[in-house]
Structure 1
């Protein structure tokens, strides 16, 4: 009893989060896991299209993750290139500041040299610093020696200060030039690294673009395949209508026979009760006849003995009715297959988001339980309980099928159905024992994988087999 879903693309945004990708992966795996029931009403061409679609869907999480990874590499490469560009800019600003300092130092150096040169020139003109200070220091006309000495001291301090400034500036300029050389080398290294980072960024962008084109291609193909499947919706709906009508007819036939079983069981019980009442009545009449004979004999004996008849007629006690067979406390069914993995349960299931709702009802009812065998057919299928074979042979969309009636259990008519078998090994009317092989797991009818579809029918209605096993 197939599901009516064909998985469509549930496309996520570029760079989807990991949890979204995990959810997508789980959804795809669930769609593939329910392959048996999902495909039972579809034609071969639609099955092929759907198979391609599911294959593309299975690629989506990996493709999206690859794109997200590639974009992550682009982001990291861009950050690296931007950081290196910033460091190059900082190094260039440092170089420019050092050049300004060196230029300023050069001016200061020239000023110091000029001062020293003036002092040296003046000393040269005056024949050097000598004991005749008034000549060098241009002493006042009155020839004040103290003032002359003060001026000489000031001149010496100026000369020494100029020399110190010259030495300090020379050292500063030398250090600035060394730093400038190191900065220039750093700029060269950073520029080389920045160029390499830009190359890596471009490679990462090209890779991301390739991944995006791949993902876009998958999405485009998925959209096209989904459109093909949607176009087949009217045809599938007609098949569903026929299939449902067929199922209603089959279940109706089972229900009619089960109702007849219930009536026959009720008639049997009524006849048994009537027979029991008749038996009791006959036994009572017999007892009364026998008792009358005994009473007559007693009276005759009393007359012969000329004694008063003291006979007391005993009260009639009806015999206890025969005990009815004890009803079983459970349905007594066993699992029809050994091994296998349950791939589908019983009951209504809504159409998953992003899938085609062929029936247009928002979901569908799976009328039994499926056990899958991983593509391997041939496992034996066993009768779940003693019973009579009502149907054995081709069952249309159900493939090779067997229906076994288990009579009336707990006051209700019980039957079991076994669908899609590779072959059937029992005949209509045959009585089977619990555990007896009725056929072998197959994939006949509307089925795309080796599996056993098992149903339990009570009073003509399908119920959850897991509640009876």
Structure 2
């Protein structure tokens, strides 16, 4: 709607058919004053529209950033949950490792105690053996003493008694040696158990130490993940605030733009009344005949956006596109659609370089054609042009996203579908 109104206002103000107003100076001066006012209003509206575009761009960026921040926050939260679950598992394993380590250490302590007890028993056995050996050397060999006793026996009963004594003495010595051997074997086994327990305790300590490192790493990762989640949450908060700010900025720019357009609409009503009055003063018949084909297509390009209602490019509502867009390359020549006279040529912040050509009356209606977004023009105000003459060159000046010609036809000051005349 904004672009349509600005085009209409700009063209209406310039399309006053001076050639049909009996050349009155008063109307010329009014036309010039109104044209200047419209140009100033156009510039203000253009700045407001640009502000809207910037605000809408900021809003779109903020919305995109908000979506990214929300995804990042969700991912960070999921990562925190995952790391915390891993940490809980690791802490449980660590507790088991510590319990196993304590058990291994207790087994080692028990084995060492048994070694100490075994060593004491062995020492006692060794001392008994020493005493027995000393006694043997002091008293002589037990076997020799037994045989001596046997020979000195006086009676059979005395012989039997001495034989029993010798056997007991020999058995006691054998028992001492057997106990010593058993103590040595037991001590050896207990020392083997100590070595096994020490190895098990060392291995358990290594596993517990590694598990502790894993737990510490997971704790650090959990802390970092929590911080990342907090930062992501802060980013979401900041982005929401930025989005709200962009929204307010867009609404404010839109409000200012619409206020300016409301003023322009009032001016439009006054200008159109002047144009109609000037047209009524023209008593010539002009062209009478078939409208179709009266105008020559200004360029050879295809139609990229027809005349009619469409979604407004700024505000998104349904509005009038007051001309026909032709897709052509920059620099291509634009032809005069009919014989006529150049009424106005100037630069508009919205439509770039503009040219208005009065082509006279057609079936009783004052007809004006308008060329927009040109790179440059070859004709100037007051020049007469002939049908097919190159009047300028296609461009992308003003509010344009690419090379094209926006071609407008005004019928009695009101924009109509150019295709009705092409």
Q: Compute the TM-score of the two structures, normalised by the length of structure 1.
A: 0.49
Q: Return the offset for 1:198.
A: 5.6
Q: Return the offset for 1:166.
A: 1.7
Q: What corresponds to 2:232 in structure 1?
A: 208
What secondary structure sits across from 2:340 in the alignment?
Answer: strand
Q: What corresponds to 1:102 in structure 2?
A: 105
1:234 to 1:407, Cα distance in 2 relative to 1, 3 A: closer
Whole-Å separation in 2 of the counterparts to 1:431 and 1:187: 92
1:168 to 1:50, Cα distance in 2 relative to 1, 3 A: same
1:415 to 1:231, Cα distance in 2 relative to 1, 3 A: closer
- 8 Å Cα contact 2:360/2:368 also seen in 1: yes
Whole-Å separation in 2 of the counterparts to 1:244 and 1:165: 115
Q: What corresponds to 2:29 in structure 1?
A: none
Whole-Å separation in 1 of the counterparts to 2:323 and 2:295: 17
Q: What corresponds to 1:9 in structure 2?
A: none
Q: What corresponds to 2:51 in structure 1?
A: 49
Residue ranges of structure 2 left out of the alignment (5+ in a row): 6-40, 137-141, 143-166
Whole-Å separation in 1 of the counterparts to 2:57 and 2:407: 29
Q: Return the offset for 1:235.
A: 1.9
Report matched runs for 1:230-269 at 5 Å. Answer: 231-232=255-256, 235-236=259-260, 238-239=262-263, 241-242=265-266, 264-265=288-289
Whole-Å separation in 1 of the counterparts to 2:325 and 2:274: 19
Whole-Å separation in 2 of the counterparts to 1:47 and 1:230: 7
- 8 Å Cα contact 2:409/2:417 also seen in 1: yes
Q: Return the offset for 1:174.
A: 1.3
RMSD: 6.2
Q: Which has the higher contact order (CA 8 A, sep 6+)?
A: 2
The reply to whether residue 433 of structure 1 matches residue 387 of structure 2 is: yes
1:230 to 1:58, Cα distance in 2 relative to 1, 3 A: closer
Whole-Å separation in 2 of the counterparts to 1:391 and 1:246: 23
1:363 to 1:238, Cα distance in 2 relative to 1, 3 A: same
Report matched runs for 1:378-417 at 5 Å. Answer: 382-383=334-335, 385=337, 387-389=338-340, 392-393=343-344, 400-403=354-357, 405=359, 416-417=369-370
Q: How many corresponding residue pairs?
A: 337
- 8 Å Cα contact 1:368/1:456 also seen in 2: yes
More helix per residue = 2
Q: What corresponds to 2:406 in structure 1?
A: 453
Report matched runs for 1:59-458 at 5 Å. Answer: 59-60=61-62, 63-64=65-66, 67=69, 71=73, 74=76, 78=80, 83=86, 86-87=89-90, 90-107=93-110, 110-111=113-114, 114=117, 162-163=186-187, 165-183=189-207, 185-187=209-211, 189-190=213-214, 193-194=217-218, 196-197=220-221, 200-201=224-225, 204=228, 207-208=231-232, 211-212=235-236, 214-229=238-253, 231-232=255-256, 235-236=259-260, 238-239=262-263, 241-242=265-266, 264-265=288-289, 333-335=297-299, 346-350=307-311, 356=315, 362-370=317-325, 382-383=334-335, 385=337, 387-389=338-340, 392-393=343-344, 400-403=354-357, 405=359, 416-419=369-372, 425=379, 430-437=384-391, 452-455=405-408
Whole-Å separation in 2 of the counterparts to 1:217 and 1:371: 42
1:432 to 1:116, Cα distance in 2 relative to 1, 3 A: same
1:427 to 1:53, Cα distance in 2 relative to 1, 3 A: closer
Q: Deviations over 1:268-290 (max 9, x none)?
A: xxxxxxxxxxxxxxxxxxxxxxx
Q: Compute the TM-score of the two structures, normalised by the length of structure 2.
A: 0.53
- 8 Å Cα contact 1:391/1:428 also seen in 2: yes
